[in-house]
Structures are given as structure tokens and as C-alpha cells.
Amino acid sequence: MGAFVLQIPEHKLRVVAPDVGGGFGSKIHPYAEDAILVWASKKIRRPIKWTADRSESFMSDAHGRDHVSTAELALDADGKFLALKVDTTANMGAYLSTFAPCVPTYLYALLLAGVYTTPVVYCEVKAVFTHTVPVDAYRGAGRPEATYLVERIVDEAARLTGIDRAEIRRRNFIPRDAFPYQTPVVVEYDSGDYQSTLEIALKEADYDGFEARRKASADEGKLRGIGISTYIEACGIAPSAVVGSVGARAGLYESAAVRVNPTGSVSVFTGSHSHGQGHETTFAQLVSEQLGVPFDQIEIVHGDTNRIPFGMGTYGSRSLAVGGSALVKAMDKVIEKGKKIAAHIMEAAVEDIEFKDGSFTVAGTDKSMALAEISGAAYVPHNYPITELEPGLEEQAFYDPLNFTFPGGCHICEVEIDRDTGVVDIASFVAVDDVGRVINPMIVEGQVQGGIAQGIGQALYESCVYDADGQLLTGSYNDYNMPKADLIPNMRVQTHNTLCTHNPLGVKGVGEVGAIGSPPAVMNAVLDALGPLGIHHMDMPATPQKVWAAINGASMPQAAE
Amino acid sequence: MYAFEYIRAKSVDEALKALARADDGLLLAGGHTLIPTLKQRLASPTHVIDIGGLKELKGISVNGGTVSVGAGTPHGQVANSAEVKKAIPALADLAGHIGDPQVRNRGTIGGSIANNDPAADYPAAVVGLGATVHTNKREIAGDDFFTDMFETALGEGEIVTKVTFPQPKKAAYMKFPNPASRYAIVGVMVADTADGVRVAVTGAGPGVFRVPEMEAALAKTWSPDAVAGIAVSADDLNADIHASAEYRAHLITVMAKRAVAKAG
């Protein structure tokens, strides 16, 4: 934007974004204010401070998830999926935001095979302009929409064929020994173990005991339902060549620079930005693990364009898979150079130098130098291979992934519905996710919990409503129902991981799995509870009024959601 | 927010004098309605007279079966008062479900009833418990206080000073909150009082109202089943994106039934 819109060359524009309280997609996009304020500041030659208030956010920050879709699934007599046909109309809003056309296309249609062996998938998407706020990427972006459609129609197929919902999934899973698996929709999955995640989740949710719980609820006049979602997502966005082939105009690599300071402490400069994801912790763990440097000797620098190398930022659950991989590559270079310095000082061949636990050792001897000694020598190069090697110990790497990563898993939700009021109460929520290698289990758990909270919000509470004149009715938290703490159940979250096969860390990404896997689990549970009343379809969110109206055959007030 | 003159009153008298002098003055108590209204430029008073700090308007006392709540008493104090909990648990319960802790620590009973938001909880307590509203000029029966949406019987230069609630034989409040704002979509106070049974509904209509059919049925038999079959007409009830008039009418019966069960 700086170079092309404002005509300010990159070296003259500095962006500092320190701790930001969450992003969730809506802060990726360039907004008109960004450009106008910079322009105005130059015009009047004074600094400008600008704060958007909540109402402005509601009325002009990009919204998410606005599809109208119809889907058809063909099955053979054994319940094997033969083909999926999808027709989607996607709202772009009044004008195009940054990723708007990408969300319902390559982040959506490419995921419609789900975790199944469906051999044929056809998808037609029409993107339409309307009078709403622009619609763009929001946690999950396209993949929640795809997952919702696939997992809802799989449940419908189970209901109509009479095959158990877990069993119909088992019959159609891509088997764990079939990877790499080329789907009929462009992408190749590298790894996964869908049946195991399902079985673990079924056991944790006591799927077999559900009918007894349904009966107990019925005895109290309540409706109980259970819903399964076995989802997949594509993240670690993205291989530049792949996204380029489907029309994206940006390269989507990431950068990292690693500076081993003269006394052996390490400064990392990353193009990934941390706005709540905990890069300072996870990236420091990577450094500590690979270079053997204690945590208090590691600094992670991000969010200041004057300090970091040119990067692409944090979105699409990519920081660890792409940014972390760049960091690993930069550290590899540091170790490689360190070995040359060590070989020179300890008078050994480079091939004989081993690096382990922060020390360079001559193989088979007790001759050893710590990283801090090597970095000291690199910055005070008195005894140094100066004709072959530059002084200093600082390396930079860019990493452009070979493929998306494909986290997946199984979410199972159980709900109880109050027939008198239509209120849906979540009785239990189980998640078993495959996020690849886990670097920090606590951060992974938090990411999954937060994502599920957002998914529950989407399924039961949140929606943007306009009146017939196009006025946004949900313009404040008085009407827009953000999930509050008392609406979010305790969740039982665990992982069952297979490693990503194409990045150096084996990580897949965890930022969006919760928001992608959970909405269909919740809605499948709601519709399982309402099924005995003959209700088999409901659009999100399943608000009390909507559920009550469905139960009582009452009409809903007319407003566009 | 438009510019206005801010006056911090040191007494009710001083507030009244300032109000009389102002071209277009407004009283500020807890500020939980007025401040957002000002911020959205939906009000443009010339003077804002702050009575939020007046000690003479604060406090709770229980005397001879009457609970007296000063107009400036925040909801949280009513909710947590051991005396109120003992004398009229339904009142403490109602106050404890207004808004969130921040609202309950700032918002006041006087501010709430003088504003008469149709979705506010307190009007259901004032009418449902047969309370009396005391002002600097007179006493107004709860039944006569709320006149229309955001309108009350308060006249020029009149300030609510306290509200007195007679202790009922039993009472309970049940609310179906707006899922987003937690205001009442439907709130029902049922009470068996010395002057008969009262059923007061807030949130559903343009203002708090009583349901005589339910009162008569409960006077005969105090049980949830007594009101279960009584439907309130959806005509004239509020409708918004969260609840149609039809849904609200239905919820009145459901909440009334549950309130009776809760009262025991």
C-alpha cells in the first residue's frame, strides 16, 4: 500500500505495531483510513492520532462468512460418497476487501473433499456485490464455510440412509496409509489419521452412552442432541506458486533473522507478528531447543518494519509453519557458520564438528566450545578464518512452503434444548485435533479453546442483521451477541497428531482449527435434538427465538441476516 | 458528545436549583444510560447536574416490613444487602441480574425508574411488589409512576429520593434476558402481597404492565399450573431482531410459571 497507493517508498515508511489485542482476520486488510490518515498527516505536516470506536468497527471493519449454498451428495448402496456438487453465492459486500474473492474460492472450494475419498467434487461459486459492509477473511476464512457444508450434508446423508453418523464417516475417511493423498480439488494432503481422531473423540464424548442421556433429558421435558464434525483445514498459508496459480498476487513466504550477540544471547527478528498468539514464547522455545540458549537470553523482535526483515505477517495459522520454518533455516545457517569458526579455532576439519546443546565439539574428543565463545570469536575476530569467512554471527532466511499444511480432527458437541424457550445449552464439547508437532501444549490448548468459543458464537449467537433499508441493526454489543464467558462450556481438548511431512518442524498450525471444526458439531447436535420433531435444517445462528419458532411452527421476524 | 456545562451538586436542594436555572438540564446519577446517550449525540443538554455522589440519596433500610432504598443506591448494593435478601429476596435477586458487575456498581434504582426503559428490570419490582416512589415533592404509587415508554409521572423539578417496598408474603422474579445486552426481553415479577397477588411484566411491552388474569388465577391457586394456560395477547408487544411479539407473549407465560415455581 505504501509504495503503490501512497507513493511512499518502503524505506521511507515505518510501521510499528506493538502488542495488539487479537486480530482474527479483520485487522489484516488495508482500510481506507490507513491510507487517508497517512496522506492527511503529510498534507498538514503534523502527527495524527486516530482511534476507531466500536460503532465504526461494526460499520466498516470487514465482516465474515456470508454464503448461500446448496449441496448435493451422491452415495452408493453402502454409503460410500460418489460425488459432491456445490453451488454457492458468496457476498462480497459493497466493494472488494483484500482477500474477499479468495475466501469463497481457493480457501473454500479446495477444501470440499473434506476428510473423505469422494472422487468427484464440483463447485461453482458466484461472488456478488451487495449493500453490506465488505466481507473478507475472518478466523478460518472459507474453510469454516466448506467444513460446515460438508459436515452438515454428511449428517443428512447418515439420517436419510439410516447409517450411524460415526459409521458413515468411517466408511468414507481417507485411510491413514493413503498419504500423500491427491484430492479431486487441486490440493494434496500430506498426512492425517482421521479415523483415530474420531474414535478417540467418540470415546471421550461417551458416544455409546448418548441415547441414555437423551432419554434422561426427555424425562425432564428437554430435547438432547449430539453432533459430530470431522473436519480438515488448509493452513500454513501458503506456497506462493500455488496461490499464484489460483490468482493471488502476493508472495506468501516468511522471513527470519537470527543475531547471535557477542556474549551469546540471541535476538530473533521475525516477519510474523504476534497479536496474542504467543510468538515470544513459542519462537523462543525453538531457539532454545535448536541453539541451546536459555530463555532469558533470547529476544523475539516483531512488529516494527525498521527492525525486522521484509515479511508477510500472521494470518491463516501460518506463523509457526512458515515463520517458524524460516527461523529454523536461519538457525541452521548460524550453526553452519559456527562450525566453520569452531573448526578453525579448534584446528579440526569442519566435517568433524558437531553441534549439540549449545556447544561445538570435535567429534570423538573432549575439545568443545560454547556458542557464546564462538560468537565472541566471530565479533572479535583475532583468531579467525578471515580470508574465508566474514566476521559476525547473524543469518537471515526466507521460507516459502512447498504445500499447505492440513490440520484436521474431530469435534463432538452435545446440547440440551429448553422446549419452552428455545434456549440451546451446550452440555459437553470434546475436541481431538491433529495440529502436527506441538511446540507449546498450553498455547495449543488456548488456541483451540478460543477457536471453539468463536465457533460456538457463530453457531448459536452471532450474526450481522440489516433491516430492509440496509441499516445495520447489530451496530453495538447491545444487539450483536458476542459469546460471553457464561455461554461458553467447559471443553475437553486434546491432540492426536501426525507430522507435517514437508516443513522442517512437522508443525501444521492451530490458530483456526477450533473455529473451523466446531460450528457443524454444534449445529449437527442442535438438529439431532430437533430431528424427532421433524426439523432437519436450520441456518446459523440457532438463537432461542429461531429454535422456538421452529419447534412451534411460528414465523420469524423478517430481517436479512 | 456535544459540549455542556457540568455541575456536581452537593445536595438535592442545590441540584434542584441548578436544574431550575438550566435551559435544558439533565440529572446524572450512575450514568449508565445518560453517558452512552450523550456519547452517541442522542441528547444535547445545556447542563448536566451530577447527583451521583449525594449521600442523602444513598442507602438501604428495613423497618417494620418495609424495605426502603435510596434513589442513588447502586444495584449491586441492593443485590448484596443481607437485609434485602432477608426481607425481599426477590428484590435482591432482581437487582443481582441487572446488566453486569460494572453496571450494578454504578447504575442506581432512581436513575433506572426515572428513565423507564421498557426493557429495564426495576419497573417490574416497583409495580410487581406494589412499591411507593418518593420524590422531593410527594409519594407516587408504583402503579401510577410509569406512564409510557421512557415517560414517568415525575414533573418539572421533581427528583426521586427513595423507593419503599412492602415485604410480600412471597415473591420471585424471572427474566429471559436479551442474549446480547442482558436487558429483559421478558421479565416477570410475581408476588403474593398484603394487598393481593401481583404479576408485573417488563421488557415485553412499551412499559411495565400487570396481567390481571394471572393475578386472579394465582389468588385462587398459587401454583405454576394456575398460570400455565393463560396466554397474553401479542398485540402491542415489542418486537425486534431478538424476539417477535409472538415469542415475547409466549415467554410471559413461561417466565410467570417459572417465577411462581421459584417463589414456592
**What pLDDT score does A5 carry?**
80
Q: Decide the pairing of beta strands A408-418 and A394-399.
A: unpaired
CA angle B191, B196, B202 (to 5 degrees): 40
Q: Is the pLDDT of residue A557 over 70?
A: no
Cα separation of B122 and A300, whole Å? 53
Q: Is the pLDDT of residue A131 over 70?
A: yes
The residues, ordered by sequence, that sit 6+ positions from A453 with a Cβ below 8 Å of its Cβ are: A483, A488, A514
Q: How many residues does chain B have?
A: 264
Q: What is the grid cell recorded at A353?
A: 564438528
With H, G, I as helix, E, B as strand and everything else as coil, classify residue B73: coil
Nearest by CB: B179 against A420, A481, A556 = A481
A238 — pLDDT class (breaks 50, 70, 90): confident
With H, G, I as helix, E, B as strand and everything else as coil, classify residue B6: strand
- DSSP assignment letter at B178: -
Q: Is the pLDDT of residue A558 over 70?
A: no
Q: Is the pLDDT of residue A252 over 90?
A: no
Cα separation of A343 and A339, whole Å? 6
Please report which residue ranges of B129-192 form alpha helices under DSSP H. Answer: 142-145
Question: Over its length of 264 residues, how does chain B's per-residue pLDDT go in tens digits?
Answer: 899 999 999 999 999 999 999 999 999 999 989 998 999 899 999 999 999 999 999 999 999 899 999 999 999 999 999 999 999 999 999 999 999 999 999 999 999 999 999 999 999 999 999 999 999 999 999 999 999 999 999 999 999 999 999 999 999 999 999 999 999 999 999 999 999 999 999 999 999 999 999 999 999 999 999 999 999 999 999 999 999 999 999 999 999 999 999 999
Phi and psi based region of residue B58 (left: phi greater than 0; alpha: psi -120 to 50; beta: remaining): beta
Starting from the edge strand earliest in sequence, which strands make up the sheet with A222-232, in order?
A222-232, A408-418, A424-434, A491-495
Disruptive mutation site among A478, A486, A547, A558 for chain B (greatest number of B CBs within 10 Å): A478
Question: For residue B228, what are the CA distances in angstroms to A418, B214, B222, B225?
Answer: 16, 9, 12, 5
With H, G, I as helix, E, B as strand and everything else as coil, classify residue A235: strand
Q: Which of A53, A26, A64, A60 is nearest to A462 (CA)?
A: A64
A247 — pLDDT class (breaks 50, 70, 90): confident
Cα separation of B197 and B218, whole Å? 7
Looking at beta carbons, which residues of chain B come within 8 Å of A424?
Answer: none
Chain B residues with CB within 8 Å of chain A CB = 40, 176, 178-181, 183, 239-244, 246-247, 250-251, 254
With H, G, I as helix, E, B as strand and everything else as coil, classify residue A319: helix
Supply the ipTM of this predicted assembly. 0.93
Q: What is the pLDDT of residues A454-487, one digit of tens each?
A: 999 999 999 999 999 999 999 999 999 999 999 9
Q: What is the grid cell recorded at A328?
A: 529454523
- DSSP assignment letter at A458: I
Q: Nearest-CA residue of chain A relative to B186?
A: A421
Contact B191, B170 (CB under 8 A): yes
A286 — pLDDT class (breaks 50, 70, 90): very high
Nearest CA-CA distance, residue A398 and chain B, Å = 45
Mean of per-residue pLDDT scores for chain A: 94
Q: Nearest-CA residue of chain B relative to A542?
A: B242
Q: What is the pLDDT of residues A174-224, one digit of tens each?
A: 999 999 999 999 899 999 999 999 999 999 999 999 999 999 999 999 999
What number of H helices and E strands is found in chain A? 13, 16
Q: What is the pLDDT of residues B81-118, one digit of tens each?
A: 999 999 999 999 999 999 999 999 999 999 999 999 99
**What pLDDT score does A316 carry?**
86
Q: What is the pLDDT of residues A219-234, one digit of tens each?
A: 999 999 999 999 999 9
Looking at beta carbons, which residues of chain B come within 8 Å of A478?
Answer: 178, 180-181, 183
**What pLDDT score does B158 carry?**
95
Cα separation of A352 and A365, whole Å? 10
The reported pTM is 0.94
Beta pairing partners, A354? A361
Query: Can you tell me which residue has the cell 428455545?
Result: A422
Q: What is the grid cell recorded at B78?
A: 441492593
**What pLDDT score does B147 carry?**
96
Nearest CA-CA distance, residue B69 and chain A, Å = 28
Query: Can you tell me which residue has the cell 474477499?
Result: A100
Determine how many CB atoms are found less than 10 A away from the CB of residue B101: 11
Q: Nearest-CA residue of chain A relative to B183?
A: A478
- Does A557 contact B at CB distance below 8 Å? yes
Q: What is the pLDDT of residues B201-228, one digit of tens each?
A: 999 999 999 999 999 999 999 999 999 9
**What pLDDT score does A1 carry?**
67
